[in-house]
Structure 1
Amino acid sequence: MLALEKIISSFLMPPGFFIIILLIITVYLFFKSDSKLIKFLATATLIFLIFISTAFGVKVLLLPLENYAEEISVDLEEDHPIVVLGGGNYYKTDGSAEPSVHSKQRLAKAYELHRTLNTKIIYSGGVGLGHDNFSEADAAKEFLSGLGLESEKYESEDQARSTYENALYIKKWLNENEIERIYLVTSAYHMYRSARAFRAQEIDFLAHHSGFIYDHKFSWLNYLPNRGALQVNLSALHEWVGIVWYYLRARI
């Protein structure tokens, strides 16, 4: 009975609801339209929506990125500064902000490493577009302070607005402080692009991802349309587009 409820609910709520609507429209077009192009576009859109809303998309888009992060992540070896890449802010009505879920996950991992190594945390993240009064670095400082991090163990780089700029400004900071190696902390799905960008700047780093954002062991329920799969697939798709863009711009 519970399984039946899960199946029904997956198609009553988005994205499953939209898949049903698009399926009805596609079937209607096959009977009523003479245009092969319209039929093709409707079918392709339906297939893509199913793909990106289920574990089929997760296997193709997300898992290769997260598996790469798992492969290159290392155990703690030596005492090096911990560089955390920004993952965005949530902005409040009073003008303040707090780190996004992804940022908090990265910061929590960095603080965990700090408690083992007792080295500095350097957060790289500037001001988001349209929000010029509160940087990611400011929000990160407040969050880490709440966890118990001493102020002298925190530094920020508050200019970067992209992964490429993260690497660019961290390279400058490393040169100014005569530091040769760092721990690089970011989400598993974001590690590939980050690692390539940092290597392009000839930064010596040890990778340590902050965690996965979706199951790596699937049940049949994961192959039903679900909001979680749609959300993580969009994040992964954003990464793949970013990777291609960086290749075209010779940034990685």
Structure 2
Amino acid sequence: MDSIFFILSKVLTVFLYPLPVFFLFSLFLLFRIKSGKTKFQFFLICLFLYFSSSSFVANTLVTGLEKDFPPVPIESSPKADVAIVLGGMIQTISSVKARPELTDSADRITDAIRLYKAGKIKKILFTGGSGLLLADEFREADLAKSLFIGLGVKEEDIILENNSRNTYENAVETKKIIEKHNFKSYILITSAFHMKRSAGCFRKQNLDVFPFPTDYRSIQMESGAFELYLPSAGYLDLTTLSIKEWVGYFVYRSKSYL
């Protein structure tokens, strides 16, 4: 009986989600529209949204970004003077001001701390100001300090850079700090989907970083999970994220940032 309840809870609740409900209403409207041209145009719009919110499209786009950067076990990582942690995981416009709220990319911080506690790095350099237009009162690096200290990193081992607004500026501003402290070896920590562009930017600044990718977003399509076959806001978000990253990569190449 519990198994039937579990199956029904998974299947029936799907029809409460915005995207599946949208497609059900769209299917109803398709049969109601009389004009063949209008029907075809509406069908194309629905098809575009369906594929954009499908696991296949989302996974194909993000896998292309991640495939050149497989996971690196902590024990296989070289020792370095400093880990460079790229911002993008602390919500700077959260309604909760009493604590730093982490986003889906929180692995960037947790993996930096794991490397630190494993003795692989001596210092953690967090680089990230605010990438938001018209809202730069709160900057990621300023919010990150208390988080690192609370998780066991000594205050003297934390270096903050809070002026950069994008990946290119992360690299430029970080180089100034690297030269000031005379660091000789560096591990770059960011999301796997972001590493292609990030590593290119840092190497363009003549910083021979060792990539330590984290926060993998690709999906095991062979699992056959029921949810893989349904349009999802999560997959739509992943498609959007991947398109943004691919566009950023090619724009950065055109501007010789990497």
- TM, length-normalised to structure 2: 0.83
**Any idea what the Cα deviations from partners look like across 1:181-212, whole Å, max 9, x if unmatched?**
31000111211121222222222011111232
Gaps of 5+ in 1: none
1:114 is the counterpart of 2:116: yes
Change (3 A) 1:3 1:93: closer
Percent of residue pairs identical: 31
> Which runs of structure 2 are paired with 1:89-128 in the superposition (5 Å)?
89-90=90-91, 91-93=93-95, 95=97, 98-116=100-118, 117-128=120-131
CA distance in 2, matches of 1:198, 1:208: 13
Cα shift at 1:169? 1.1
Change (3 A) 1:166 1:249: same
Change (3 A) 1:225 1:103: closer
Aligned residue in 2 for 1:188: 192
CA distance in 1, matches of 2:130, 2:175: 19
1:240 is the counterpart of 2:246: yes
What amino acid is the match of 2:82? P
Change (3 A) 1:204 1:106: same
Cα shift at 1:131? 3.4
What amino acid is the match of 1:81? V
SS in 1 for 2:153: coil
CA distance in 1, matches of 2:18, 2:107: 26
Aligned residue in 1 for 2:256: 250
CA distance in 2, matches of 1:155, 1:177: 10
SS in 1 for 2:45: helix
CA distance in 2, matches of 1:73, 1:200: 26
- 4+ aligned runs moved over 6 Å, structure 1: 71-74
What amino acid is the match of 1:232? L
What amino acid is the match of 2:69? A
CA distance in 2, matches of 1:51, 1:206: 36
Aligned residue in 1 for 2:176: 172
Change (3 A) 1:139 1:3: same
CA distance in 1, matches of 2:58, 2:52: 7
> Which runs of structure 2 are paired with 1:78-157 in the superposition (5 Å)?
78-90=79-91, 91-93=93-95, 95=97, 98-116=100-118, 117-129=120-132, 130-157=134-161
Gaps of 5+ in 2: none
Change (3 A) 1:10 1:193: farther
CA distance in 1, matches of 2:253, 2:49: 27
Cα shift at 1:149? 0.8
CA distance in 2, matches of 1:92, 1:143: 15
Change (3 A) 1:4 1:160: same
Change (3 A) 1:200 1:118: closer
Q: Contact 2:14 / 2:20 at 8 angstroms: preserved in 1?
A: yes
CA distance in 1, matches of 2:198, 2:54: 26
Q: Contact 2:79 / 2:121 at 8 angstroms: preserved in 1?
A: no
Change (3 A) 1:239 1:6: same
Q: Contact 2:130 / 2:136 at 8 angstroms: preserved in 1?
A: yes
What amino acid is the match of 1:77? P
CA distance in 2, matches of 1:236, 1:73: 25
1:21 is the counterpart of 2:25: yes
Aligned residue in 1 for 2:42: 42
**Any idea what the Cα deviations from partners look like across 1:139-184, whole Å, max 9, x if unmatched?**
1111111101110110011111111111111122222323233100
CA distance in 2, matches of 1:176, 1:68: 32
Q: Cα RMSD between the aligned structures?
A: 2.6
Cα shift at 1:10? 2.5
Cα shift at 1:6? 2.9
